[in-house]
Amino acid sequence: MTIRTRFAPSPTGYLHVGGVRTALFSWLFARRHGGSFILRIEDTDLERSTPESVNAILEGMTWLGLEYDEGPFYQTRRFDRYNAVIDDLLNRGLAYRCDCSHERLSSLREQALRQKDKPRYDGFCRDRNVDANQPHVVRFRNPDDGAVSFDDLVKGPITVSNQELDDLIIRRTDGSPTYNLSVVVDDSDMQISHVIRGDDHVNNTPRQINIMLAMGKEPPHYGHVPMILGSDGARLSKRHGAVGVMEYMTAGYLPEALLNYLVRLGWSHGDREIFSLDEMIQLFDIGDVNRAPSTFNDEKLSWLNQHYLKEGDPLRIAHLLGSHLGRLGIDPAEGPELVDVVKAQRERAKTLEEMAEISTFIYRDFEDYEPNAAKKHLRPVARVPLETVRAALSSQDEWNPEALHRLIDEASGRLELTMGKVAQPLRVAVVGRAASPGIDETLFLVGKAACLRRIDRALDYIRQREMAG
């Protein structure tokens, strides 16, 4: 069998992380089996579909590196094909026109709910000869007897009686095809062998199989992936935080971290947590996907992202960090080499955004000292150590971490103080807080002129404290 999978999002909003996980599972399945992965834009909802949403889908797929072999295909460009299939079904008596009013349909629904039945169309127009020139919809004539059975790749065997299924609308009054018709035609025409999608579609599958069979086509294999939940047990949504994939890019997450996290949401390979993309392709099996929903955990994602920040190529991380500094109004060219910043900060940040924020001291003077740090370290007792180090730094020509480390070590020896007694006041003076990379790296990154300027400011601060008693 030639494996062909597809990702078919609707362009009615941002690219949701749940959709990305579905795309990833479909992509991995195709890649592992030497198949093809197709991108299809299901934009038949003309009122809600937007070009901006299409761009968000394409940008997200590009950022994640989920390259597609065919597409993107747009359903709005295939209306002639859908209408040809609908007309064929009408001609063969497998579909019919329906002009039931909204009031009649609402009454049917209300009656079913009162009787605690499942709302369904009663087939009133099945044998009526509705005028094709009058407003109407077209309904698929669902089989009356028998059942639809399929072996779900995730959930296992599923059987649904045809008596539970009603006659779906497959063409609206305005002439546009509906989702359940267009998706079946596309899957057939594009020779999709495996449909991997969210389990919110599982109720559509028996209906789509019946339409596929009415077309004389063999249905694909289906696998329905459980939904992703927020920490409160509700379906993951905007109120849980960032759920659009490009929001994670903006927040400074790496695509490999997000993919690694999403593949582990509902799938596992032993107790292993870290997977490269090549390892995912080698190991992924759709049959190993859990049937139960998964809960999104921001802390776990951040942990993975920090792993990839620490283990990734510093040059690549530096390239990505530049735009995050730019958002803070910082020109990275007006400072040290970005790769040196990355090497100094990658153990301290969980995202690129955080790395940029904790690196602002390198590029510009801070406004205020962190109160507790200043209170503890910028005391009168720190004045002489700071004056001693300042004098040494002012005459220091060799400005690199090794030389600066020796300078502070020698100053500490002359003062008969531990290195920490000198380094901590110096760190607060230069950074404004008690946490930073090693003091030698910190001084190197900040640069000579800024270090001397900030030490002078700290000495003024200490003198003011001395005067205040």
d(CA 262, CA 256): 10
Our separate counts of H helices and E strands in the chain read 20, 12
d(CA 361, CA 358): 7
The verdict on whether 350 is a catalytic residue reads: no
Q: DSSP for 220-272, please give it.
A: -EEEEEPPEE-TTSSBP-GGGS--BHHHHHHTT--HHHHHHHHHTSS--STT-
d(CA 41, CA 51): 11
Q: DSSP for 85-143, please give it.
A: HHHHHHHTTSEEEE---HHHHHHHHHHHHHTTPPP----TTTTS---TTSS-EEEE---
d(CA 316, CA 359): 17
Identify the residue whose tokens are 């009454």: 107
Q: How far apart are the first and last CA of the chain?
A: 85
Q: Residue 329: left (phi > 0), alpha (psi -120 to 50), or beta?
A: left
105 residue type, one letter = L
d(CA 228, CA 235): 6
Tokens of 459: 């000495």
Identify the residue whose tokens are 């937007």: 50
Residue of 116, 238, 300, 448 marked catalytic: 238
DSSP 14: S
Instruction: Determine contact, residues 122/128, Cβ cutoff 8 Å.
Output: no
d(CA 139, CA 173): 11
Tokens of 346: 């990658």
Give the residue ranges of DSSP H helices in 284-400. 298-311, 314-327, 338-345, 352-357, 360-363, 371-377, 383-394
CA angle (452, 456, 461) in 5-degree steps: 145
d(CA 297, CA 304): 11
Instruction: Determine contact, residues 454/365, Cβ cutoff 8 Å.
Output: yes
Catalytic positions are 238
